Chains A and B, each alone.
Chain A
């Protein structure tokens, strides 16, 4: 069974347009003008139960709008969507009990009260018996290393602790489908790693489906098997991350360390020189020419060390966004 099925999904916003200054304000008051903004256009995809899918796109591409339609927060302007067999916008309790949404830039915890108070409310709202709620809180707190801070007011927590506590609150009812919108936003590397590990463990324990947006490619690379890329409201790629990288980055990065200084011009004949500092250089070489180029480099230059690596996924995605298509 599909966890999510979206067909020709679209969302158009009417946005009031107002010129600056007093004249603009008066005109706006008497004759309001609107601009139609197509945030999402004809987006179709299916996500199977248990899949972890990364949702990528630059700011304003339509990721969050799509997530809002899938969770039932906003009403689609066009198309059909079914999530766990439900029409999301009807927001039936049996649907809401199976999903969750985590937003890295928003919080549901009550700011001035200890984390436990917000968890208590969620346990009651989702009708989780006291003993079971205590068991789940204990298990999550242990996994997220939060035991010591559950009785502290939310405002006293660090950003990393707060995000972990948000995850606890969002997952207390053991949802089958997780919508994660930038769950590691602003966290340091350690906290990011810990959140990723927690999500992986949750997914394997509960066979949950996850749709995840993140600007940190490490999140996507660590969690997602498949990615959807959206650009200007349109879906431009749907497939495995490695396929996206292979299609859009037909290069390998060759890092070199020489015994002597080498000129940029001499290296340029072998590939695109990304960096040259002292006796160290980085070249981008087309994959099909990699073996031949490495052989020639070793033959022509006094190479002390040589490594070949994939270009960073961030760079690949940046190129996809710049081009706006996946060729």
Chain B
């Protein structure tokens, strides 16, 4: 246990230092993720003209938390993993008595330590532009939202890990990540709160992981009517499923690893 904590602490502190070297790049990536605010403007206009039952303040709050959820659950592991498989740099990690997954996970978690402080100016600008919009959702919703966003991050992470592992069989499968991102854009609540989608679509989406990746934490934090218990269990189920699939593919795929270039 002592060594487990020591390894976690060293990996997190080292990758945090590494990510600090890329703070400029992270800032630009952060700014490229402000699209929820454009959808916010559109829906606030619609609400102002009385087209929807949701108020302008609720839209502002909801899309702010959509932005926050996306920033906290972003992943890029498929690119790193696929690259390390194709170039053979995975070899060094394979020769160490620590699964490479922990390096990737630490790298992502440590990056949040750089990204979150960079989000503070956006928070300040938002509260100045929309004073009084961001209200405290209460401890229960705040904590449930945190659990939901952590699970959403892990689900994204393992899904991305699976896509990266496909490089063990195919020349390059990382572009499939774009398909995953498109599905998230349309079906996770990034374009509009899912409660506005037709009921049939909502029922179908409930069987997929997408509504739980953005809509669930954003709705919890923004105070929109949403049940937390059962959706969180489903999200946990998706997290475990993607985790198990990624572990299975890892074991199967290593027999295909050719350590090219190494």
Contacts and interface: CB of A to CB of B under 8 A. Distances in A.
Given A68-B262, A103-B91, A126-B97, 14 more contacts: A71-B95, A72-B94, A72-B95, A73-B257, A91-B94, A96-B97, A106-B261, A108-B92, A110-B14, A112-B22, A117-B18, A124-B6, A124-B7, A124-B10
A74 B259 contact: yes
Interface string A80-121: 000000000001010011011101011010101100011011
A304 to B, nearest CB: 53
A123 B6 CA distance: 10
B262 A124 contact: no
Nearest to B93: A108
7 contacts: A73-B257, A112-B21, A113-B14, A113-B18, A117-B14, A117-B18, A121-B14
A105 B261 CA distance: 9
Contact of A73 (B10, B95, B98): B95
A73 B11 contact: no
Q: Which of B7, B18, B22, B97 has the most CB of A within 10 A?
A: B97
B89 interface: yes
B255 A75 contact: yes
Contacts of B98: 125
Question: What are the 8 tightest A-B residue pairs by CB atom distance, in nearest-first order?
Answer: A93-B97, A124-B10, A108-B92, A96-B97, A112-B21, A73-B259, A125-B98, A124-B7
Nearest to B98: A125
A262 B255 CA distance: 65
A127 interface: yes
B97 A113 contact: no
B17 interface: yes
Nearest to B7: A124
A102 to B, nearest CB: 10
A125 B7 contact: yes
B80 to A, nearest CB: 13
A96 B95 contact: yes
Contacts of B17: 113, 117
A113 B257 CA distance: 28
A8 interface: no
Contacts of A112: 18, 21-22
A45 interface: no
Nearest to A118: B14
Given A74-B257, A96-B97, A103 B262 contact: yes
A167 B259 CA distance: 20
Interface of B: 3, 6-7, 10-11, 14, 17-18, 21-22, 88-89, 91-92, 94-98, 254-255, 257-259, 261-262
Main secondary structure of the interface of A (DSSP, over half): mixed
Contacts of A127: 3
A301 interface: no
B95 A97 contact: no
A73 B255 contact: no
Contacts of B3: 124, 127
B21 A113 contact: yes
A34 interface: no
Contacts of B89: 106
B262 to A, nearest CB: 5
Nearest to A68: B259
A101 B95 contact: yes
A100 B14 contact: no
A106 B255 contact: no
Contact of A106 (B91, B97, B257): B91
Contact of A99 (B21, B95, B257, B259): B95
Contacts of A72: 94-95
Given A68-B259, A121-B11, A127-B3, A110 B18 contact: yes
A117 to B, nearest CB: 5
A97 B259 contact: no
Nearest to B3: A127
B97 A100 contact: no
Given A68-B259, A106-B88, A117-B17, A73 B94 contact: yes
Nearest to B87: A106
Interface centre among B6, B17, B98, B259 (most CB of A within 10 A): B259
